Amino acid sequence: MNISELKQKFSEVFGSKNTLRVFASPGRVNLIGEHTDYNGGHVFPCALSFNTYVLIAKRNDRKIRLFSANFTDKPVIEADLCHIVYDKKQDWANYPLGVLAVLLKREYPIDSGFDILFWGDIPQGAGLSSSASIEVATAYALSSVFDLRIPKFELSKIGQEAENKFVGMNCGIMDQFASAMGKANHAILLDCNTLNYKYAPLDLNGVSILLCNTNKPHNLIESKYNERRSQSEHALQQLQSKLSIKALGELTEEEFEANKELITDPVERKRAKHAVYENQRTLKAAQKLQEGDLSGFGKLMNDSHISLRDDYEVTGAELDAMASAAWEQEGVLGARMTGGGFGGCVVALVQNEHLETFKNNVARIYQAKTGYKPDFYVASAGAGAREIK
């Protein structure tokens, strides 16, 4: 839907005559650095040109009404500014309501209710972080409409707190940070331990970032995601019996190998190994990109997927089938799962002259192995949260 169609839909749903403003916040793809964010390591995402759009108008009372133009069969969800609580029946609306709950808890002066409509072109269930996009778009819209003047950097933390404390998904900061802080044609190297970051130009020279959607939906809250985080944290505690570290991301591969026997559970040792090695891979990959060595970057992507498959065990049959089909193709520099895992997308670097052959071959192989028909999207790095005038 375009903006004028969304405004028409807003009018049909809410009938509001109050001032209407429009905001957008992107999804993201993580090029490398998976499950390192909550382990205090580095990530290397870029914001996408897919977005969640938010249309919002203040009300003259304390009622909040929410509607998604993606789910037109679902009714308007209503809440009261004085009583914002999690309710599973609220479904997708728990993400924006969680943001509102965090803002109210922090005593930001939101002094009236509002009508708010959402629509997104981020493929659902693809692991491209539509939930973080909703959270950041909501936070940015509320900050603007109520003149709260919250820096974008802080909005990402508000979105993360909403997902952690309100929704119950124990995610790291990466998704919300990329959605808030994204920059067109750039990736972001983010140190999740310190939140120091720098932008890296995506000079790909005849190579495309291709998203290969397995169309195996994932629901991270009901998956093993929180279990992986718990295993990593317990491994860290055992390493801390000897090492003065705050996060697994502080270790080099050599330091980990010298001390890994402190982790008594072999499964937890594998989880920690992934967090340490993946962090180092991410730093090496950012350097390869800076040097223009896309083949070297691609090899590190392949190694990342293998580690996520064997040490962190978050891939599954569909992601593995997609990645292995990608690795067989001419013109592919590298491919790996992206996002939390257990479904969603593989991200691949593919030379442009081989793009169509790659898609045809991978689709055929993948569908024969899994029964799912994949989708493909050429990704471009888009801007972060913004108002659309």
The burial class, CB within 10 Å (0-12 / 13-18 / 19+), for 220 is buried
Both tokens of 318, joined, read 């569909």
Chain centroid to CA 225: 13
The label of the residue with tokens 């939140």 reads 195
**175 in active site:** yes
Helices (H), the chain: 3-14, 94-105, 130-145, 152-161, 174-181, 225-239, 253-259, 266-291, 294-310, 317-327, 355-370
Both tokens of 202, joined, read 């995506």
Task: Give dist(CA 144, CA 330) in Å, integer.
Answer: 48
Q: Which one is catalytic: 115, 175, 303, 320?
A: 175
Both tokens of 108, joined, read 């930001």
285-to-7, 58, 255, 299, 358 alpha-carbon distances in Å: 43, 45, 20, 9, 23
Q: Nearest CA to 114 among 235, 19, 9?
A: 19
Q: Nearest CA to 306 among 336, 269, 347?
A: 336
* Residue 38 and residue 11 in contact, taking contact as beta carbons nearer than 8 Å: no
At 263 the three-state DSSP class reads: coil
Catalytic residues: 175
